Amino acid sequence: MKTGIRETIGGAGVIPVVVIENAEQAVPLARALAEGGLPVVEITFRTAAAAAAIAAIRREVPQATPGAGTLLSPAQVQAAKDAGAAFGVAPGFDPAVAREAQRLGLPFCPGVATASELSQALSAGFDTVKFFPAEAAGGVKMIKNLLGAFRCTGVKFMPTGGVNADNLAAYLAVPEIIACGGTWIVPKDALAAGDYGRIAALAAEARALVRAARG
C-alpha cells in the first residue's frame, strides 16, 4: 500500500466499515464520522449504491477519505477507482483482483487469514493486509503468531471482523497493527434512521479509545 494512504489509515486507528443502501446517506454519514474524529471510511461493495456513495463523499466532503471494501472482482476494482476511492480492501487474496488494483494504481489491502495467504500477498508486492475475519481466525494471538515468522518483512495488519470497543485496545497494542476495521461505529438502525448525531458520538468514542490505546 502506498506510504501516504497507509499513514492516513494508521493515523485514524479505526476505519468504520459501512454498508450503504442509499447513496444519499453517504454525505451526511461522512460528515458525522469526520466530526467525531474518524475521517477515513470504508464503503463496502455489498450494495449497488457503493460507487455512487464514494463519489459523493469525494465530491462533497473534502475532509473525508473514502475507501472501497469487499472488492471481489476486477470490475469492482475499476468501479472503485472510477468513483474516486482513495484505497481498496478485499476480504481475501484473489490474484486477479490484486493485479487489477496494481494496474490501476489503487492502494490496495488484500485479505488474509493464514500464513500461506500472507506469503502470497507479500510475494505479490503488498505490504499491508486485512486480517479477516479477525476474531474468528484467531484474533490478536493469531496475528502475533504470524508475526513470529513474518515480522522481518515489515508487513502491517488491518484486522476486521469481530473487532469492537471492548477488544480494540488489545489489537492496537500490537505495533504492526496500523488500524482496525469496525462495523460497530455505524449501527444499521442509526444509519437507517438518519441518526447522524449518534454516529458522530460513536465515532468520537472510538477515536478516544485509539488515543488511549496509543498513549
- Starting at the edge strand found earlier in the chain, the sheet holding 14-18 runs 108-109, 88-89, 65-69, 40-44, 14-18, 180-182
pLDDT value of position 4: 86
Q: What gap in Å lies between CA 191 and CA 181, rounded to an integer?
A: 17
Domain at 3-206: CATH code: 3.20.20.70
Domain boundaries, the chain: 3-206
pLDDT value of position 54: 98
Residues β-bridged to residue 153: none
pLDDT value of position 1: 85
pLDDT value of position 2: 78
Query: Within its chain, how far is the Cα of 166 from the centroid?
Result: 19
Indicate the helix (H) or strand (E) that contains 9.
helix 3-12
Tell me how crowded residue 122 is: count the other CB atoms within 10 A of its CB.
16
Contact 176, 156 (CB under 8 A): yes
pLDDT value of position 16: 98
Return the active site residues: 42, 130
Cell of 149: 515468522
Grouping H, G, I as helix, E, B as strand and the rest as coil, residue 38 is: coil
Tens place of pLDDT per residue across the chain (215 aa): 877 889 999 999 999 999 999 999 999 999 999 999 999 999 999 999 999 999 999 999 999 999 999 999 999 999 999 999 999 999 999 999 999 999 999 999 999 999 999 999 999 999 999 999 999 999 999 999 999 999 999 999 999 999 999 999 999 999 999 999 999 999 999 999 999 999 999 999 999 999 999 98
Please indicate, yes or no, whether the overall pTM of this predicted structure exceeds 0.85: yes
Residue whose C-alpha is closest to residue 155's, from 182, 192, 124, 185 = 124
pLDDT value of position 65: 98
Grouping H, G, I as helix, E, B as strand and the rest as coil, residue 78 is: helix
CA angle, 30 as apex, 198 and 80 as ends, to 5°? 140
pLDDT value of position 3: 75
